[in-house]
Structure 1
Amino acid sequence: MVAFKRLDRKLGQGNIEFWKEIIMLSKYRHENLVPLMNFCIEGDERILVYEYASRGSLDRYLTDINVSWIQRLKICVGAARALKFLHDPMETQQRVIHRDIKSSNILLDENWTAKVSDFGLSKVGPANQPQTYVFSNVVGTPGYCDPLYFETGFLSKESDVYSFGVVLFEVMCGKLCYEYANGKITDILVPKWKKCYEEKRLDEIIFHSLKEDMESSSVDCFSAVAYKCVEKVSEKRPTMAEIVKELEFALEQQEVFEDLGKKLDFQEMIRISHLAVVPLSYGSQSQLYTLFLKGFLVADGKTMISINKKGELIEIISSRKCILEKQLQPYATKDSRFFNVYLCTINSNFKLNVSTQFLLPDIAYTMNLVFKHFGWDNGTHVPFKYKLDNERDYRNSSVAHVREDGWLMVELYEFTSNCKEHTFRIEFEPPFRIASSLFVYILEGIEFSPVKHVL
C-alpha cells in the first residue's frame, strides 16, 4: 500500500515544488518524516510515491474524543523530533526550514507515529550558524504563518517554531486555529488562545473530553512551551531541541500519572491525604497524584508519605519518632524533611523501634537509615554496626549512597511486604571507640523504599 501525490498544474504548482520534494526527502531521512519511495515523470505528468500513512493527517483527529491526551503528546513529540532533525542536521551543512508546518501536514501511520510531510515550500540554508535568515516571498497558511515573517519577509527556523506552536495549541484545544464559514476564514483563534494562557484561563479552551485524564504538570509544561513558541519576538521562542525536551517531559509526567492510576487505589490515597499535617488542596485525581509524588507529612508530622514514578509507596519515619534513647541531642535543621531530628556523637549507642503504617503488600522494600555527617567529612563511611533484637551477632553496615538532596542512605535490610504495618527493633553501636567525641552525625530517620531492582 502506497500513497500517490499527483502534480495539478491548475493549482499553480510546477517542477520547482516537485523536484524540491524529491531532493529533500531523498537527502533527509528520519522516522518522523514521511518516506519518499519513488517518483514518476512521463510527459507532463509528475507523480510522487510515498509510504502510506493509513490514518491520514492530524487535523482530522483534533476533535476526536477517542484520541487521548497521551496519544496526542506522543504525536507532538514525534513531529517535534522531525523538525529538530531538519533544523539541526548532524551529517550535513544544510538546515531545512519547512515553511508550511500545520496539522494537515503531519501524517499518522497505523501506529499513530507522526510523519511530517509536504516539503514543496521548504527552504535550505547553512546550518553551521546560530541563526539562518532567508529573504523570500511570504508563503504559508493563514493562522499558522509567523507574523514576523509575514510582515518582513525574513524567514528563519523560528518561523517553523511559531507554526508548530500553533499546532500544539490545536492539539490541546481540540480544534483548528481558525474558524471557517462560506468558504472563507472568518477568525484566527491564536490571539484568543494566547490571552487565555496569559490570564490563566486555559480551562476555558482545553478540549473538554481531555480534561479528566490530563495530569496537571503535563498540561502546565505543554501549554508553557506552546505559548513560548508563538511569542511575537522570534528571539524569545525556544529551539526545536528545547521543545523536544519539554514535550518529552510532559509525556513522561502523563505516563507516570497513568501508571499510578493502574497501581494505586484512589480511595486509599484520599484516606491517607486526610492524615496530612497541612491540609492538602487538590481539585482532581491528577493533582492528588502530584502531591503524592512531592511527598507530605502525616499524623504528628514525624512521618512522610510519597510515591515513586512507578506508583509504589515510600514511607519515611523521623528519628525523633523511632529512636528510643532520650540522651541523644535534638537538632533542628532546614535540610531535613523533618524539622526536628537527632544529633549523635560517633561513640553513641542507640536503639530504635520503627513501625510502618502504609506499606503496600507484595512489594519488595529496603529499610534504610538516612543520616549526614556534621562538621566533618567522612565520605560515605558508615560509623556504626547494627542488629535486630532477635539476632545474636552485629552486622557491619555497607557503604552509604549519597542521595540527590545530599543526605547519606545505607540499606539495613530487604524484605517483601505482606501488609501495611511492620515493626522492627534494631540496636546500633559504633564499630570501634575513639577518644574524641567531636565527630557527630545527624540521624534523619528510617526510609522504607521499594527496591529498584529485584534479585
Structure 2
Amino acid sequence: MNSSTYMEAYLQKFLQPFKHLKIQLEEITTATNNFNKENYIGHGGYGKVYKGEVSHSKGRSVVAIKRLDRTSRQGIPEFLKEITMLSDYKHENLISFLGFCCEGSEMILVYELASRGSLDRHLNSPHLTWPQRIKICLDAANGLRYLHDPRGTHRRLIHCDVKSDNILLDEQWNAKVSDFGLSTMGSANEQHSLIVIPAAGTEGYIDPMYWMTHTLTKESDVYSFGVVLFEVLCGRLCYTLVNKGHVVKEILVPTWIKSYEQNMLNDIIFENPNIEPMPQSVLKRFSGIAYQCLKESREDRPEMSEIVTELESALNIHELLQNEEFIGKWNEQLYEYQEMIKTAEPPLNYKSEDELMDLLSKGILFNGGKTWFWLNKKGEHCEIISIAECLGSDAKRHLFSSNYNSRFAVGTYSIFRRKDVNILHIRTHFLSPGITYTVNVVFKFKMIKERRCDPISLKYRLQGERESSISYLAYEREDGWWACELYHFTCDYRIVHFQILFEDYDNEDGLRVEGIEFQPLENVSLQIKVWLCRKPFV
C-alpha cells in the first residue's frame, strides 16, 4: 500500500464517526459554480473561501465553503482538528460547523455564513457605533470564555490564533470566533493548563511569553484578545506594512501600551465625525481591561470571565448614559445612591458620578453585607437578598458553606432531600416602584450539571395563599449560578415584606442556595414562561 492510499484509508476511518456531516463534492462544486471567482468571498491560511447554497446537517442554506489550498502550510491535521473540535464545541459566539467534504485531493470545510465578513474589515468603519464595537468585543469574549471555562462539560480549548481576522460578523453584527486549525486542547477540570509546543499564531498578536518559551496557556489567548481590543479602540490593525514587497511589519502594540501608560489615549483612539465620542468612564473601563490583557506577566492578565464582566459593564454604562429617562431618574435619586455607597461592604471610593454609576452597574454589597444591589441596562433596581438574611434565626449554621464563590460572606445554604418547612422572611430594600419583578431562587447544584434547563420540583407557598405551588424548571446562567423562577409581582413600594414557605424538596442532586433575587421582568414571553413554571400543587 503506497503512502497516498494509506492516507486515504486513514482519513476515511477517522471521519467515519462524522459521516452524518459529509457533503458530496458534486453538490459543493455546483453550489460554487466550480469554485468560480464570482462566489469567492475571502482567503485565509487554510485556503480560499467561497459562498454557495448546499444541504447540510442543519437544513439548507447559503454557507461559507473553505477549500484547502494544497500549497498552504495548513493541511490534514488542521482539517481534522476543525472537524473534531467544532463538532464538540458549540456556542452562539463560535462559528457553527455544518459539514465537510473529503474526496480525492479535496478537503473542504463548510460553516455558517457570516455575511459581514471578519472584524478586521470594519475596524475603521464610520457606521459602527461605540456600543456596537463594545458588543462585538463582548460576543468574542463570551466565545473564548466558553472555550477556556468548560465547567466540566468538555476539555479546555486554547485557540492559539485570536485576531480580528478570525472574528466573524453576521448580518446583525453578532460576533463569532472562527478558525480552530491551530487550537490546542488542555486539561478538562484543571485551573491551569500549560502546554509545550512550537510557537504558532500571527505576528503582532502572539503572546511574547509563548513566543519566547513555547509554553502555551489560556493567558496566551488573553494577550491576543487584548491586541484585538486595542484594534477596536484605535480603529486599525495592530501593524503597518513598512515594506510590502518583503512583508515587513511595524507592530503598533508597544506604542499603544505606552500611550495608555502615559494617559495619552486621545492620541490613538478612533475618531470619526459620524460617531459620537466614547464617554470617558466607558473609555476608562474598556481601555483598562485591554491594557491588563497585555501585561507581560501571565499571572497579571485577567481571566476571560473577568474580561466579559468588564465589557458588560462598559456597555451597560454607555447605554445608561444615552438613556434620557434614566438620567432624569439618576439625578432624582443621586443622593440615595450616594448614601447607599456609604454603607457598602467593603467601603467603596469614587471620584465622579460616572464612577458611581459604574460601581452600581457592577453591583455592590450593602445592608451589612446581606444585600447585593445593582442597576440593569435600563437603570432599574435589582437585588439578591442573602439566604442567611431570609432564614434568620431559623437557619442551621452547619448547613452553610463558603465553597461556592457566593457574593455573601456567609456563603450558601444546603437544601438536600429535606421535608421540613423553611420559612423565608424577605425584606427588599430599594426596588423600583411600578416595575414588575420576577422572584428567583439563586443556587448551585451540589453535583456538576451540564448547562441546560433542568427539572427541580421545588414546592412552596406564599404568605396568605392556601394552595402550594411547585416551580418545575431551573436554568443555568452565564455567571455559573442557576435560577429557579417562582412568581412575579408589580412593585408599589421600594421596600416590600413577604414570606415564602419552602415545604418540600426531594431531589438527589441537592441545592446550595445563595439567596432570593428580584429581577425586572423583561418581556411577555418571559412572563408566560414564569407562569408555566409555577403550577398549583394538587
Aligned 8 A contact 1:138 1:153 in 2: yes
Does 1:207 find its partner at 2:306? no
Q: Secondary structure at the match of 2:81?
A: helix
Percent identical residues? 49
Q: Secondary structure at the match of 2:91?
A: coil
Aligned 8 A contact 1:215 1:253 in 2: no
CA shift at 1:20, angstroms?
A: 0.3
Q: Write the distance in 1 (CA, Å) between the matches of 2:258 and 2:86.
A: 38
AA matched with 1:121: L
Structure 1 residue aligned with 2:183: 122
CA shift at 1:221, angstroms?
A: 1.0
Cα–Cα, structure 1 residues 288 and 83, in superposed 2: closer, same or farther, change >3 Å? same
Q: Write the distance in 2 (CA, Å) between the matches of 1:292 and 1:158.
A: 31
Aligned 8 A contact 1:173 1:205 in 2: yes
CA shift at 1:185, angstroms?
A: 3.5
Structure 1 residue aligned with 2:255: 192
In the TM superposition, what whole-angstrom CA distance separates every residue of 1:183-226 from its partner, at most 9, and x where no partner exists?
A: 22431111111111111111111101287431222211111110
Aligned 8 A contact 1:93 1:126 in 2: no
Unmatched tracts of structure 1, length 5 or more: 270-286, 295-307, 314-398, 415-447
Q: Write the distance in 2 (CA, Å) between the matches of 1:68 and 1:288.
A: 25
The partner residue of 2:132 within 71, 74, 81 is 71
The partner residue of 1:240 within 304, 314, 336 is 304
Cα–Cα, structure 1 residues 311 and 149, in superposed 2: closer, same or farther, change >3 Å? closer
Q: Secondary structure at the match of 1:94?
A: coil
Q: Secondary structure at the match of 2:226?
A: helix
Does 1:57 find its partner at 2:121? no
AA matched with 2:164: S
Cα–Cα, structure 1 residues 154 and 112, in superposed 2: closer, same or farther, change >3 Å? same
Structure 2 residue aligned with 1:278: none
The partner residue of 1:254 within 318, 321, 330 is 318
The partner residue of 1:144 within 202, 205, 210 is 205
In the TM superposition, what whole-angstrom CA distance separates every residue of 1:382-420 from its partner, at most 9, and x where no partner exists?
A: xxxxxxxxxxxxxxxxx996747xxxx9x9x99xxxxxx
Cα–Cα, structure 1 residues 175 and 453, in superposed 2: closer, same or farther, change >3 Å? closer
Q: Write the distance in 1 (CA, Å) between the matches of 2:179 and 2:306.
A: 24
Unmatched tracts of structure 2, length 5 or more: 1-61, 332-350, 359-374, 381-424, 435-492, 497-518, 522-538
Q: Write the distance in 2 (CA, Å) between the matches of 1:403 and 1:194.
A: 43
Cα–Cα, structure 1 residues 130 and 42, in superposed 2: closer, same or farther, change >3 Å? same
Aligned 8 A contact 1:178 1:185 in 2: no
Cα–Cα, structure 1 residues 206 and 400, in superposed 2: closer, same or farther, change >3 Å? same
Does 1:80 find its partner at 2:141? yes
Q: Write the distance in 1 (CA, Å) between the matches of 2:379 and 2:302.
A: 35
AA matched with 1:214: M
CA shift at 1:167, angstroms?
A: 0.2
Structure 2 residue aligned with 1:216: 280
Structure with the greater alpha carbon radius of gyration: 1
Aligned 8 A contact 1:134 1:155 in 2: yes
Structure 1 residue aligned with 2:98: 37
Q: Write the distance in 2 (CA, Å) between the matches of 1:29 and 1:143.
A: 28
Aligned 8 A contact 1:264 1:311 in 2: no
TM normalised by structure 1 equals 0.60
Aligned 8 A contact 2:242 2:250 in 1: no
Does 1:19 find its partner at 2:80? yes
Aligned 8 A contact 2:152 2:189 in 1: no
Higher alpha-carbon deviation: 104-113 or 87-96: 87-96
Q: Write the distance in 2 (CA, Å) between the matches of 1:249 and 1:38.
A: 37
CA shift at 1:94, angstroms?
A: 1.2
Cα–Cα, structure 1 residues 129 and 113, in superposed 2: closer, same or farther, change >3 Å? same
Q: Write the distance in 2 (CA, Å) between the matches of 1:293 and 1:37.
A: 43
Aligned positions of 1:29-428 closer than 5 A: 29-183=90-244, 184-209=247-272, 212-260=276-324, 290=354, 403=429
AA matched with 1:245: T
Higher alpha-carbon deviation: 86-95 or 243-252: 86-95
Cα–Cα, structure 1 residues 21 and 310, in superposed 2: closer, same or farther, change >3 Å? closer
Query: Which structure has more RCO (C-alpha within 8 Å, separation ≥ 6)?
Result: 1
Aligned residues: 306
Q: Write the distance in 2 (CA, Å) between the matches of 1:227 and 1:254.
A: 20
Aligned 8 A contact 2:134 2:311 in 1: yes
Cα–Cα, structure 1 residues 248 and 44, in superposed 2: closer, same or farther, change >3 Å? same
Q: Secondary structure at the match of 1:126?
A: coil
Cα–Cα, structure 1 residues 213 and 403, in superposed 2: closer, same or farther, change >3 Å? farther
